[in-house]
A and B are shown apart, each in its own frame.
Chain A
Amino acid sequence: MVTLDTFKRGFNNGIKTLIALLKLMVPIYIGVQLLSISGLLSIIATFFTPVMSFFGLPGEASLTLIVGYFSGIYGALGTLAAIKLNAVQATTIAIMTSIAHNLIAETAVIKKLGVSAWASIAVRLFFSILFGFLYYRIFG
């Protein structure tokens, strides 16, 4: 049964999730901005440019991948807010991080069920890299 209570719960959950996410994303966004102002971001970017050009992405996007793989979708979004990307690049990085993200925490969940953590991480990284590359090759 859908009642007024359903909507109240949904709205409250939405606000709660939003606040939790902003607590994560805003510091990451500001952090990336600071990296950018200090010039550190361009050093990181130059270092990763050869790797990232494999996916048609600018070197700065390496930060998104690293944050995404370790922290998760919303951390990755925080970095994306600070980096300028075109539609194809945004989709490429979205595919890569949506397939493999938050690897440490999510693998812990998988392990709780008695399933190999390495199998989970391996398939996720494999398809993250493969599909990121394929999308760029086909649509980029």
Chain B
Amino acid sequence: MIIMDYIIDLFINLLSFTWNITKVIIPLMLVMEIFKDLKIIDKISNLIKPATNFLTINEKSGISLIIGIIFGLLFGAGAIIQSTNEHDVDKRSIFLICMFLSLCHAVIEDTLIFGAIGADYLAILGSRIIAAVFTTYVLSKLIKKDFSDISDINICHEHTSYEHNSTNK
């Protein structure tokens, strides 16, 4: 009956694993909905002005940074698109926000999920924030604010060449 014991063991392991995820996901989704309905995002967008200034990102797109950090890359991208429709957001800011969000998005969910299986919350969150702030700061120094900057042209170029390739397929 070794096989039976093994299957029971596997099942118990799976159940405790599922429970660990459940007790994070359900409260998290509840809090996220409360965040949305209380319009907390709008309220904190004023608070991050020093941060957007430090990273020399367009103030108007700062809100997409917060949305991305809290809710995830997809929501952040949606917010960026919305901000470009409503305001004049330069390509440089979009690039910097994307680099930040690449490293640091959906931090609440990811951190809690890994915390639930025994990893150190602070280390995960801290390393992502340090990596994102460092990268964005260095890039903001490297890429000049001038629109005709070479790196900016490179970004456009890569994008169009990608589109070209995909239509070829």
Contact = CB atoms under 8 A, between A and B. Distances in A.
Contact of A123 (B81, B103, B158): B103
A40 interface: no
B159 A13 contact: no
The size class of the interface chain B forms with chain A is 35 or more
A18 B77 contact: no
A81 B131 contact: no
B21 A109 contact: no
A46 to B, nearest CB: 23
A91 B98 contact: no
Contact of A95 (B31, B77, B124): B124
Interface residues of A, number: 54
Contacts of A42: none
Most buried by B among A25, A81, A123: A123
B131 A99 contact: yes
Contact of B102 (A29, A30, A120): A120
Interface in A17-61: 17-18, 21-22, 25-26, 29-30, 33
B13 interface: yes
B162 interface: yes
A87 to B, nearest CB: 6
A105 B21 CA distance: 23
Contacts of B114: 73, 77, 90-91, 94, 97-98
Given A98-B110, A99-B128, 8 more contacts: A6-B37, A18-B21, A33-B10, A85-B118, A87-B119, A87-B120, A90-B117, A127-B103
Interface of B: 10, 13-14, 17-18, 21-22, 25-34, 37-38, 73-74, 77, 80-81, 91, 94-95, 98-99, 102-103, 110-111, 113-114, 117-120, 123-124, 127-128, 131, 135, 154-156, 158-159, 162
9 tightest Cβ-Cβ pairs between the two chains A and B: A10-B30, A10-B33, A94-B119, A14-B29, A94-B114, A14-B26, A127-B131, A115-B98, A13-B29
10 contacts: A10-B33, A18-B21, A22-B21, A81-B14, A91-B120, A99-B127, A109-B77, A116-B159, A118-B158, A127-B131
